[in-house]
Amino acid sequence: MSDAPALIEMRGVTKRYGGIPAIEKVDFTLRKGEIHALLGENGAGKSTLTKLMAGVVAPTAGEILLDGKPVSFGSPAEAMRDGINMVYQENSLVPSMTVAQNIFLGDESFFNKLRPLYIAAQQFLQSLNFNVDPWASVAGLGVAKKQMVEIARAVRQNARVIVFDEPTASLTPEEKHHFFALIRRLKADGVSIVFISHALEEALEISDRITILRDGKLVMSDDRSKFDRERIVTAMVGRALSRDLYGEGTKTYRKAGEKVLSVQNLSMGKVVRNTSFTVYAGQVTGMFGLIGSGRTETAKIIAGIAKRNFLHGGETRLGERSVRYRVPGQAVRDGIVYVTEDRKVEGFFDTMSIAENIGIGHIAAGFNKGLVVRTSEIAAIARTWSEKLAVRSINADARVIELSGGNQQKVVIAKSLVQKPRIIIFDEPTRGVDVGAIAEIHQLIERLADDGLAVIVISSYLPEILGISDRILVCQKGRVVEEFRTEDATEAKIMYAAVH
């Protein structure tokens, strides 16, 4: 394998976002017809590396060679013309169009006759062995089928390289099996595959070569045969004990305190179906589930964020009191806060400074007496919390948009903590957060539980759930289906409950 000619070669590429290097002086080679796994922890720079390949961003320094000739892509469209396609974590399909329309998107003839289009799409999908109806609207498809449509689109554009950003994160084991079969077929046709993954077993199972990044730098890049699980983990984390980060072994589990929140038969449309569970003070309650299991929606109902009408049934009890919030403001005043999984869209205010962001949390909780904002008081509070959470920035007036993912997340958390919550819900607290900050956020979560708060952590990353929770709830299809004490739980048991 290793003697196949190089298709893409990156030499000493560096990419900085606002002065902060996302990747630094990385050399990377992709050969013809190989499956290349890209591994690394959150924030290691995997996404950035693939974005450089696909022309989404341009390198700050270094050069990219395609077939031995230097190239610089001005846009993803230019990279696509040279046969490099990317299948994103977030879907890039047009939901309101049909499968066939999406496959041919941007490539329609001027007089776009629909019938031939659908026939062509049908034949094409069959040639790939994809069981997808070309007439179906994309919005109604499951994650796996959407991915098939994206892949079909890439293959149809004569892709020589297809980059997958965490393709298996939301697939069931069965779908995963199909996906791997497909990748092998593409490889047999001479297509080079790059895929980013969190799951080491996957990489070991199907890749030909593996590249590992850490903190934006290349750690190693070699044939699969040179790797085993232990070696990968050591390379990714930079020290031998990988489970360090997620506190293995000697951990003591917290006892359940007072029962602060109980949810009974909560429902909302088809997303949350008749779910019941209880949350205790002084403990971290982990919530695991695949995408579509209704975890986020359940949390948003509890925090009053979901717009829910009176037909949707169920009861939420805060202590002994039955509550039903119409707006998040009511929940905040009752001491329930929700830290979002998508901080850019619903977390922070990007034109505002760190202090202003934290200040808005303080004012919105009703702690600012009177109508005039007490600027100096808020500045002091913001300073205290920035220090407590170790928010690192060049200066205090820096706008949140200029910070790294981990620091942004800390600001969003601080904005919620100034509201003095009794129950705090973290939704994917370490998504898109750099490795150093992950450990800090985990320590913070533990400290909150030690201080007597009821903490709920939603995560789809099993080591995180197992490492941080005292108790684990597993969601599936809109309800909590299993409850584990963390002592008794294993990755296999949790996954089994989440899927079956």
Partner 1 sequence: MSPSFRPAFAFTQEQIVVAITLALLVLFSVTLDSFLTAGNILALIQNVSILGILGVAMALAIIGRGIDLSIVANMAVSVAWVLQLSNNGVPIEIAIVMGLGLALAIGLVNGFLVAYVEIPAIFATLAMGTVAYGFVRSLLLEDNLIYLKGAADTWFKWIGSGQVVGIPNSVLLFGLVAVVAHVVLRITVPGRFIYAMGDNPTAARSTGIPIRPLIVLQYVTAAAIAFVAGVIAATSVDSVETRIVRSNLVYDVILVVVIGGVGLSGGKGSIRNVIVGTLLIGVLVNGMTIMNVAYTLQNIIKSLILLTAIVIDSLMNPRDEQTSQQGDI
**Interface with partner 1 by CB under 8 A: which residues?**
16-20, 22-23, 43, 45, 47-48, 56-57, 216, 303, 305, 327-329, 331-333, 338, 340, 344-352, 356, 359-361, 363-365, 368, 371-373, 375, 401-405, 408, 415-416, 419, 432, 434
Tokens representing residue 44 in the block: 């290691």
- Give 253's DSSP letter: P
Residue 135: CA atoms inside 13 Å, Cβ hemisphere, count? Answer: 3
- Supply the minimum distance, in Å, between the C-beta of residue 135 and partner 1: 32
* Concatenated DSSP letters of 161-203: EEEEESTTTT--HHHHHHHHHHHHHHHHTT-EEEEE-S-HHHH
Tell me how far apart the alpha carbons of residues 56 and 165 are, in angstroms, rounded to a whole number: 13
> In the complex, what is the shortest distance from the CB of residue 474 to partner 1, in angstroms, rounded to a whole number?
26
Measured from the CB of residue 354, what is the shortest distance to partner 1 in angstroms? 13
Distances (CA, A) of 461 to 181, 199, 288, 458: 24, 10, 8, 9
Consecutive H or E run containing 47: helix 46-53
Q: Which is nearer to partner 1, 56 or 256 (CB)?
A: 56
Closest CB to partner 1 among 171 and 303? 303
**Minimum CB–partner distance for residue 404 and partner 1 (Å):** 6
**345 versus 492: smaller Cβ distance to partner 1:** 345
* Nearer residue to partner 1 within complex by CB, 300 or 471: 300
Query: Which helix or strand (DSSP H or E) is residue 333 part of?
Result: helix 328-333
The token duo for 186 is: 């593409």
**Residue labelled with tokens 């009191």:** 321
Shortest separation between residue 214's beta carbon and partner 1, angstroms: 13
Cβ neighbours of residue 166 under 8 Å, at least 6 residues apart?
89, 196, 197, 198
The neighbouring-strand residues paired with 457 are 286, 426
Which one, 35 or 80, has the nearer CB to partner 1? 80
Q: Of 200 and 355, which CB lies nearer to partner 1 in the complex structure?
A: 355
For the chain, the straight-line distance linking the first and the last C-alpha, in angstroms and rounded, comes to 39
Task: State which residue, 23 or 84, has the beta carbon closest to partner 1.
Answer: 23
* CB of 473 closer than 8 Å to CB of 288: yes
Least separation in angstroms between residue 22's CB and partner 1 is: 4
Q: Closest CB to partner 1 among 56 and 97? A: 56
In total, the chain counts a number of residues equal to: 500
Query: Helix or strand or coil: residue 148?
Result: helix
Q: Report the nearest approach of partner 1 to the CB of residue 18 (Å).
A: 3
Nearer to partner 1, 216 or 314 (CB): 216
Shortest distance (Å) from residue 186 CB to partner 1:
27
Place of tokens 């693939």: 50
* Shorter beta-carbon distance to partner 1: residue 227 or 325: 325
The SS3 call for residue 76 is helix
Tokens of 388: 């407590």
State the minimum distance, in angstroms, from the CB of residue 53 to partner 1: 15
Within 8 A by CB and 6+ apart from 284, the residues are 254, 445, 446, 449, 455, 456, 457, 468, 469, 470, 471
What is the nearest approach in angstroms of partner 1 to the Cβ of residue 373? 5
CA distance 482 to 288: 10
* Cα distances (angstroms) measured from residue 235 to each of 228, 239, 415: 11, 7, 35
